[in-house]
Structure 1
């Protein structure tokens, strides 16, 4: 096996792992779920789910990854000592490939809208860029995958870390600048009220709770091995609970920032004459991002072209920081287990994802929503459940403690160690299983 790469610094890992978590699941998905689940009630339950479920599972992935210094398939097989670990690991790798397949299509839309917004600054109008067509979808999906492939070929410190420490600060600057601009527009105050004042009666609705759990898992890239693989590149002297908390806080923070941008922006659009309701429900999903917000930008005159460019640049950066972590999961397996060179492994997986994405584009009405539902609503929670079982029931507790002590010799006396082992063993599996049952039946 070739020597494994490592993140060269703590901030490099935090930004790379947070970049994996901070993607379209935060910038698009979170505000969308807020819009369709009654605003602040969803925000409240998302925060609870993120801390009570997502963070413990995130820690399970990081600990397993760093201890085993391997991809998800080999790491789980090492813990289980039999084929069960390989099966679960393989399911994670397959799931992440299919997530990347639909993700790259959506990211391609963001890319084409970014180019359209930039061209509009110089008054060049190419309707093809924003019209839905098979050619447009495949071309920009391919361009986005090429960018992702190029970063992952660069390796851990020379590719993933190098670009994450550039892209993540840029993302944060863009989103904060846009929040400030939108907040001073007429109508923004109504959006702030919708985002910040919860309807507690809705907070315990089963559908809202299931959406909140799914959003927490999807936005933190849990269950599919991205955090496990990133964990395998962490230096042994780092404190894992502290790193995990940093990643979770950045991810949750960006999700909240995205809501602070998009929900007020929707009400600014309403104030400017753009329809944002279907019946009594806020518009969400692709209609929100590709129709409502561009209509808002159009009402802003010339400055709207710059705001639109900044917004879609934000979306592309968020998509890229996540896609590189997803691509790394199967690439790490081919490099570790099959002895392939990184460049060849990356190109092979990219071609496979491109083929799957093309099939989805050509059968869009049937496959797009189906793939999203199977991977994010079903596969990810189940895989998260299995990771809890591995960390809580199969893996020996003293081995976990020994791994954690390498970054903090006094971890045994910490609040984390007094709570996490039994919590991930008993509480997380039960809650995830109950929530999953509710979502299916």
Structure 2
């Protein structure tokens, strides 16, 4: 055994997949990062936290926190060329810490399975709300009303549909499944966003929303706003659950890790920015038409149900055009949810195919069936479990995992191994400002920032 804890050769029952192109990886990784948190969560955070002031702080923190942590996760994955559990076992240069890596990897897999469960429930809602206007237009009003009713039967059926779609994509493998569909869905998502922005921006009241979104009032910057922006930048990048680690393991050794991580970060924040440019003007158009958006304290009246109550009501008020916009909006939301859920399922599937020697199809079923049972339990006890699972995973487990990932990359992986790994795709990295800053930044600053989020956020 070498002192450097070299990565052992792969001995899987089937060859590991790999992204066929750098653009395919960027689309897949950005798709993992771009999700409901960008299209739904980010605009509501902006509306609740001072508008443009929150936007600017969020963009800054995305580069200060999310980007260096993203480089660390991708580096761990590519260094090991293995699933997150095995990757964290192999990472430490001190063999004694391998068992801690195993425990951390298992915790990340459990966390992402829990997130996949509540994500699938929300994904089912999005499919239902996207289909409802179509059913209304063709005269199936009873079916349309059922689709927007909050019943256990509707929730369970649509959740199962969303899980089946995700499973189908993941069963196709890396190149023919995840990369193929991410490369199609991400451009479609951007196109839908731009079309919807163009349709909404001309409505009465839209420019009041644009002004609120783009003209900052820095007097609204408070500690609460800072922590909310920190949490949003962190959550929107899918950090702390092993998804980026898994995708990094399928990345070519010739790829420039800092550059590709930056592309993913910029695409993720860019789509969040466009989502705000759509949803915030929509809210102000609805406000202009007499809908209740803000309460007496200036907070969103119903941030949790904005997407399912306020926006559909706004689209309905526009007649046939509004129905079309509603279908497009929920198609956009479903695509965002799907590109994230694909990476969520891939993490445990990669562990079972490599460690359990199962085929990809069997591994997908082994994961999806218990997740569907968990979804059934959550739906049956919705008021008790749904928000609890979200809070446990996104507010506690995910930042805690990311904190440990940074500590592992910064303290347990030898500096020379980090340098060598990044040099494979960026031979001059040692001479750049990135290398002068990133090693100590991921060692000290990222853990402190994430730790602050955990303690005070």
**What is the TM-score when the length of structure 2 is the normalising length?**
0.94
Give the C-alpha shift of residue 274 in structure 1: 1.8
* Counterpart in the other structure of 1:147: 165
Give the C-alpha shift of residue 66 in structure 1: 0.5
1:67 to 54, 76, 79: 79
Answer yes or no: is the 8 Å Cα contact 1:206–1:438 preserved in 2.
no
Answer yes or no: is the 8 Å Cα contact 2:43–2:275 preserved in 1.
yes
Does the residue aligned with 1:285 lie in a helix, a strand or coil? coil
**C-alpha separation in 2, matches of 1:173 and 1:118:** 21
Does the residue aligned with 1:193 lie in a helix, a strand or coil? helix
Does the residue aligned with 1:201 lie in a helix, a strand or coil? helix
**C-alpha separation in 1, matches of 2:369 and 2:164:** 10
**C-alpha separation in 2, matches of 1:230 and 1:28:** 24
Q: Which moved more, 1:178-187 or 1:36-45?
A: 36-45
> Runs of 5+ in structure 2 lacking a partner?
1-11
* Counterpart in the other structure of 1:289: 307
* Counterpart in the other structure of 1:115: 131
* Counterpart in the other structure of 1:252: 269
Q: Which moved more, 1:313-322 or 1:41-50?
A: 41-50
* Counterpart in the other structure of 2:108: 92
Give the C-alpha shift of residue 392 in structure 1: 0.7
User: What RMSD over aligned residues (CA atoms) do the two structures have, in Å?
Assistant: 1.1
2:443 to 417, 425, 441: 425
* Counterpart in the other structure of 1:383: 401
Give the C-alpha shift of residue 17 in structure 1: 0.5
**C-alpha separation in 2, matches of 1:323 and 1:137:** 17
Give the C-alpha shift of residue 214 in structure 1: 1.8
**C-alpha separation in 1, matches of 2:353 and 2:181:** 21
Residues 17-28 of structure 1 correspond to what in structure 2 (within 5 A)?
Answer: 17-28=29-40
**C-alpha separation in 2, matches of 1:144 and 1:302:** 27
Deviations along 1:366-421, one digit per CA (max 9) or x if unpaired, are: 11111111111111111111111011111001011111111011111122111110
Does the residue aligned with 1:300 lie in a helix, a strand or coil? coil
Residues 18-417 of structure 1 correspond to what in structure 2 (within 5 A)?
Answer: 18-80=30-92, 81=95, 82-125=98-141, 126-203=144-221, 205-279=222-296, 280-417=298-435
Q: Which moved more, 1:113-122 or 1:176-185?
A: 113-122
- Give the number of aligned pairs: 438
Does the residue aligned with 2:140 lie in a helix, a strand or coil? coil
Answer yes or no: is the 8 Å Cα contact 2:231–2:453 preserved in 1.
no
Q: Which moved more, 1:299-308 or 1:190-199?
A: 190-199
**C-alpha separation in 1, matches of 2:396 and 2:450:** 11
Q: CA 1:167/1:111 → structure 2, altered by over 3 Å: closer, same or farther?
A: same
Does the residue aligned with 1:431 lie in a helix, a strand or coil? helix
Answer yes or no: is the 8 Å Cα contact 1:120–1:305 preserved in 2.
no
Deviations along 1:107-161, one digit per CA (max 9) or x if unpaired, are: 1100000110222333432211101111111100000000000000000001000
> Runs of 5+ in structure 1 lacking a partner?
none
Give the C-alpha shift of residue 272 in structure 1: 1.8
**C-alpha separation in 2, matches of 1:188 and 1:50:** 27
Does the residue aligned with 1:230 lie in a helix, a strand or coil? helix
Is the counterpart of residue 5 in structure 1 residue 21 in structure 2? no
Q: CA 1:100/1:41 → structure 2, altered by over 3 Å: closer, same or farther?
A: same
